[in-house]
Amino acid sequence: MTKGKGTKDKQSLTAARAVASALAMQVAMSHFPELGLKIAIASGSARRFVVGDPQIHYLDTLAGATVSRTATGEHLANKGELLLDEATVKLLGTAVTISEWRVDSATSESFAVITHLAGTVPLAPLAEVPDLEPTQLQAWLHQSVYEREASFLTEFRPCVALFIRFAS
């Protein structure tokens, strides 16, 4: 999903960065033919909710029509494909090469299958992340994970948020 706030130019740049990243992921995954990656990008606003009890566990949750469109696009995508919703295609205009359009029968939403992004996309500057105490992060992790990770504090563990679904 791309963020829905800001000027149209900023939204277009965000969408272009998302598409460039998605196409780069598809190229990287082509080296692993036994694995498949389907990507759907939807642009627009979404609501972020923090749910849970800080004494037990917090969950970061996204909701809204943009999230639903992303899920719909993912269902229409095949292995190795990148699909964009109509809002993202409008933001990018002629910068994307569309091989076909697909329509979801349940929602009537249209998605473009993208094969190319014209031009180069400038990298986004990395945001500065403030130092946090481990106790500030504890409410965001399940207690057993927090306790287990405490024994690996010197290890570097990168992570990325993904929507994953396993199917036969």
First to last CA, the chain: 26
Domains by residue range for the chain, with CATH: 8-122 (3.30.70.1230)
* Alpha-carbon separation of residue 45 from 3, 18, 41, 77, 135 (angstroms): 6, 15, 13, 22, 31
Amino acid at the residue 99: S
Tens of pLDDT, residues 11-21: 999 999 999 99
Between residues 156 and 109, the one the model is more confident about: 109
Q: How far apart (Å, rounded) are the C-alpha atoms in residues 80 and 33?
A: 10
2, 14 contact by CB (below 8 A): yes
Mean pLDDT, to the nearest integer, of 140-154?
71
Tell me the pLDDT tens digit for each residue of 63-95.
999 999 999 999 999 999 999 999 999 999 999
Is the predicted pLDDT of residue 161 greater than 90, yes or no?
no
Q: Answer yes or no: pTM beyond 0.75.
A: yes
> Which strands sit side by side in the sheet containing 96-103, from one edge to the other?
39-41, 82-85, 110-117, 96-103
User: Which residues have C-beta within 8 Å of that of residue 45, sequence separation ≥ 6?
Assistant: 3, 4, 5, 64, 66
User: pLDDT value at position 21?
Assistant: 95
Contact (Cβ atoms closer than 8 angstroms) between residue 115 and residue 134: no
